[in-house]
Amino acid sequence: MQGGVQRRSGVRQMPGTSITEVRCQKCGHVFEAQVIDHIDMSQDRDLLKRIKSGKINRVQCPKCKKVHYLERGVVINFEPENLIVLYDPSASRPEVREELMRDYRSVVMFNEVLEEVAQETEFKIVSDTAELKKIVEQWAKAHS
């Protein structure tokens, strides 16, 4: 890792991201792409534009240039508001939302420190990009 950037298979990896394999829906080509797992709004302000434009986890096939929007969860930390938002398009289904909330509770109950942080932090699950954009815009307005 150099300057907070990791390199793997020629893909420049930024903090809060991981590398995943994607199969192009158009041509079937399998390629590696960097995806966002976590955003700390106090540190990753350049990602505001990607969130506002709805381009979270947007990847493009290097072979045929087809654009894909990957449906995966992204954790967004809004400091200093003590708000953590899990944006997951699949959470529009009640059973998925309940499972995500159970997972969150089991993680924070793991030790005392996490439990204390959870008591001071609001945890929200959002599945709609319009709702996420609204939260981001309110935060950006308050911290610009």
CB 73 within 8 Å of CB 80:
no
pLDDT tens, per residue, the chain with 144 residues: 333 333 344 445 566 889 999 999 999 999 999 998 988 888 877 777 778 777 788 999 999 999 999 988 899 999 888 999 999 988 999 999 999 999 998 888 887 888 888 889 999 999 998 899 999 989 989 987
Q: What is the pTM of this model?
A: 0.78
Q: How many CA atoms lie within 13 A of 70 on its CB side?
A: 21
What residues pair up with 122 in beta bridges, in sequence order? Answer: 83
* CA atoms of 70 and 93, how far apart (whole Å): 17
Q: What pLDDT does residue 8 have?
A: 44
* CA atoms of 76 and 82, how far apart (whole Å): 11
